[in-house]
Amino acid sequence: MLGAVALGCSKVNPASLNLLTINLSFDSAGGSEQISVQTNQNWSVSADQTWVEISPSAGSGSDSYQLVTVSVGENESEQARQATITVRAGELSKLLQLTQAGAPKFTIRDFRAKKADKTTWYKLTGEIASIANEEYGNFYIFDETDYVYVYGLTKDQQSSNDQSFSKLDLKPGDTVTMMTLRSEHNGLVEAGGTIPAYFVSRTAGEYKLGTKVSSTKAGWLELPATSASDGQDLLIHRFPDGSRNYAAYYDYKHFVSTWVAYPLCGGNIGSSGGRTDAFALDPLLPRDKQAYLTGAFREGNAGKFDRGHQIPSADRLETRVNLETFFSTNMTPQLNALNANGWEVLESKVRGWAKKSDTLYVVTGCSVAGSDQYALDSEGKQITVPTGYYKALLRLDKDKNYSALGIWMDHAANSATSIRKDMVMSIDELEKKVGVDFFVNLPEAVQKTVEAQNPADEAWWWNN
């Protein structure tokens, strides 16, 4: 009898792979996290990015969960980054998604808060607002937090300024990234300095706060008449919110604006910021069509002159728009004995009147008729010296009534400490004197009445 043959077989467990985590997230500083892997197969873990480290990266099957450490270093970029981790066990695989936050943006406000030193370099990014010197690279940049003046930028890292800035072809509106020290000059925070900042990258942009037109039909009450055939252009500058800042009627022959017109009230004067002293080229014109004033006017045939504003710096205190008042198209060669005396008194009085009105519509202008005097810009261009200056004022009071005042000052030393009745005239008289048609957007009947007023007889001007 044949013995019974026992046939048996072992039980084979199917392949399995389990993970307790399918997502990992890290802040910009990096660090380590553990994932738990359970499989009855030999396994491996890999990442599709080299900045992810895994330990251990392989193992044998087990009934228990095994720990794998995933580590990432600091993310120095402001951009978040992602990686995919693949766990394989035999023919099975599972994916984990890893994300790491970008580094907090280093802002201009952060930069300004640092202490000045000559060894610590910072990576700084901002949009160019205006350029004062196109050889050495002196300009203002801003971001959503603040502004800072860059005193010297070079194409490559240099111990002194090699005047390579012009090779970068940077323009207002471009966003520029640089490496820079944090310095100070006369107590003011600067990027660059004795050791210049150096260029990293540029994102092309465009100047957003201005438009050039030959004439306009805009109904702004401050605007005098313009013409498309007189060879002058209207340079319209705006606030960041798109509202009008000022308009300059530019005379290419004399390199000065015939007039600058602007609305004035407490709201657009502002209450923060202040004088930037950032004399710069107007982005609306090429350099050869305007005065290039890297310093004061050089002497021409008539002595020394200040860089005199038409719309005053103090009429626009907020930093971004104060920069716009330092464009060379807003400057004329003006005697210090006028600029720092009677003319400054007038400017201050006009601001006071504006703050007590609904709006004061202002035209500040100069006359070059008959002038044979000139000053020189930094390149030797001859800039005509005006023979006189004026202001035409249209006041809208809080009851929506209008009144007007004209005033002329010869371009000569003026020691006036107040504005007197014998210094003013009607708008009609001022129009005849300077040949400008003011306030053309008033209704005709209102214009006729207001421009004929003798401001010496209007008590409000003298009681406020």
- The model's pTM is 0.83
For 15, the enclosing helix (H) or strand (E) is none
Q: What is the DSSP letter of 266?
A: H
Which residues are CB-contacts of 416 (< 8 A; sequence separation ≥ 6)?
341, 342, 345, 346, 423
Chosen CATH of 210-463 out of 3.40.570.10, 3.30.460.10, 1.10.1740.10, 3.90.420.10? 3.40.570.10
pLDDT digits (tens, 9 = 90+) for 285-331: 999 999 999 999 999 999 999 999 999 999 999 999 999 999 999 99
pLDDT surpassing 70 at residue 144: yes
- Does 108-203 carry CATH code 2.40.50.200? yes
H/E stretch holding 98 reads strand 92-100
Please state, in angstroms and rounded to a whole number, the distance separating the CA atoms of residues 434 and 214.
21
Rounded mean pLDDT of 354-375? Answer: 97
Instruction: Assess whether pLDDT exceeds 90 at residue 353.
Output: yes
- CATH 3.40.570.10 domain extents, the chain: 210-463
Range(s) within the chain of domains with CATH label 2.60.40.10? 17-100
Q: Which of 8-22, 34-48, 266-280, 424-438 has the lowest mean pLDDT?
A: 8-22
What's the CATH class of domain 17-100?
Answer: mainly beta
Residue 12 has pLDDT above 70, yes or no: no
The rounded distance, in Å, linking the Cα atoms of 242 and 221 is: 17
Question: What pLDDT digit, counting tens, does each position of 51-64 carry?
Answer: 999 999 999 999 99
pLDDT of residue 2: 44
Alpha carbons 98 and 234: distance in angstroms, whole number: 56
Cα 220 to chain centroid distance, Å, stands at: 25
Residues carrying CATH 2.40.50.200, the chain: 108-203
Tokens of 381: 């261009």
Whole-number Å distance between alpha carbons of 404 and 341? 24
Q: How far apart are CA 216 and CA 234, in angstroms?
A: 8
The CA distance from 204 to 190, in Å, is 23
Residue 271 binned pLDDT confidence (cut-offs 50, 70, 90)? confident
Residue 7 in this model has a pLDDT that exceeds 90: no
Identify the three-state secondary structure at position 246: strand
pLDDT score, position 292: 97
Which tens digits make up the pLDDT trace of 169-221?
999 999 999 999 999 999 899 999 999 999 999 999 999 999 999 999 999 99
Q: Which two tokens stand for residue 452?
A: 């004929």
Query: Using CA atoms, how far apart are residues 425 and 453, in angstroms rounded to an integer?
Result: 9
Q: By percentage, how much of the chain surpasses pLDDT 70?
A: 97
With beta carbons less than 8 A apart as the criterion, state whether 431 and 437 touch. Answer: yes
What's residue 6's pLDDT? 47
- 1 — pLDDT class (breaks 50, 70, 90): very low
- The average confidence (pLDDT) of the chain is 95
pLDDT of residue 112: 97
pLDDT-derived band at 78 (thresholds 50, 70, 90) equals confident
Average pLDDT over residues 407-421: 97
Has residue 124 got a pLDDT over 60?
yes
pLDDT per position as a tens digit, 416-454: 999 999 999 999 999 999 999 999 999 999 999 999 999
